[in-house]
Amino acid sequence: MAKVLCIDDEPLMRLVTCDYLKDMGHEVLEAASSAEGIALFQKHHPDIVLSDLRMPGGDGFLVVEHMAEEAPDTPVVIISGTGTVAEAVKILRLGAWDYLTKPLTSMPLFAQTLERMLDKARALKATTQHLRGLELRNQELERKLLGCACNHRGMKSRLAAAIKAGINSLHIALHEQDPSTAGHNEGVARLSVDIGSSMGLGEQRLEALKLAGLLHDIGKIAVPKDILNKRGPLSAKELKIVRSHVACGYRILRNIPFEGPVAEAVLQHHERFDGSGYPNGLASGGILLEARILAVADVYDALCSDRPYRPGLCPSDATGYILGRAGTHFCPLCVTAFEQVISKRHMEGETQ
């Protein structure tokens, strides 16, 4: 069971809530003010924090702001009977995980909320630990690569082999996290190389483009599976987590000595030609050509693939979607090359 910190200046509210939590088997810590609660958190590091909104000597906003900075992986649930809608929205944006209103008329619903927050926190911590382990393995690979370069002949061929082994390890890790995403990456890599070839890119750039295609979603190993596989629309917080995969992927790849801008293309593949993309709002020529190619291949393959929240489109409808967004979402030159590739595939009998 969990260690729960309950912060509320109302003794009766604390008594009712804490007795219920103890009956559920949880260990409970009690505080009558935000200052006392923060001190208890720093000493005991509970698994979840329940806090009132308005209290003397510091309110729930202080608790949320402190937790967001010191322990963002620890859920904070606000329970208030006096907060306004505007205050509820504000505190959720500051980092609260949920907001409940007093009085708690349904204790079973309260228990369900508590367990849901704890499950989400456990999944987030497990994902973070997995990513840290992957980064440590990547650092070890870098050390081995440097040692190989300094002490042996044939440095370039062995370095390429080691990088390939590292890439395979990353690809396997992603496949374990989300098999459908890994298959999508392979499709994006093939289409990206075909588009790049149609645009006259050389062998080295095509190889870098292939690697970027295979690894463009590697950052999704840090996204919880329940978000990746969610059938309904994502919340603003969930969308922010999903969008963080490009920066996460860049951090994983940036220190690997690729012969080309693989990590940079991964970072930029959700930028849009008109500047409305993320993470940095780059536009037109400010976006790497490799990233502009990836953007076309990524969206096309995603549209043709079944997702938990929708069935895949037929290739002709997906192609029409891409062509209709040349100059806005996509680079017109890349779209022209894409159209040539798809026409060639159609003539050769390929379905996607």
Are 192 and 109 within one domain? no
| pLDDT number for residue 352 | 52
| pLDDT number for residue 175 | 64
| pLDDT number for residue 350 | 60
Query: Which of 66, 89, 117 is the endpoint of a domain?
Result: 117
Flag whether 307 is in a domain: yes
Are 199 and 95 within one domain? no
Are 230 and 319 within one domain? yes
Are 215 and 317 within one domain? yes
| pLDDT number for residue 173 | 65
| pLDDT number for residue 10 | 87
Q: What is the domain count for the chain?
A: 2
Strands 76-80 and 48-51: parallel
| pLDDT number for residue 131 | 76
Flag whether 8 is in a domain: yes
Are 103 and 214 within one domain? no
Are 305 and 187 within one domain? yes
Flag whether 211 is in a domain: yes
Flag whether 159 is in a domain: no
Flag whether 162 is in a domain: no
- Residue 245 burial (10 A CB sphere; 0-12, 13-18, 19+): buried
CATH number at 244 reads 1.10.3210.10
Look up the domain containing 98 and give its range: 3-117
Give the C-alpha separation, 292 to 263, whole Å: 14
pTM over 0.75: no
| pLDDT number for residue 296 | 97
| pLDDT number for residue 197 | 96
Are 205 and 279 within one domain? yes
Are 106 and 232 within one domain? no
Flag whether 131 is in a domain: no
Give the C-alpha separation, 238 to 186, whole Å: 25
Flag whether 158 is in a domain: no
Judge contact between 263 and 251, C-beta under 8 A: no
Are 187 and 93 within one domain? no
Query: Which of 117, 139, 156 is the endpoint of a domain?
Result: 117
Are 190 and 286 within one domain? yes
Residue ranges for the chain with pLDDT beneath 70: 145, 147-182, 308-309, 350-352
CATH number at 44 reads 3.40.50.2300
Are 255 and 182 within one domain? yes
Are 109 and 182 within one domain? no
Query: Which of 117, 132, 155 is the endpoint of a domain?
Result: 117
Flag whether 253 is in a domain: yes
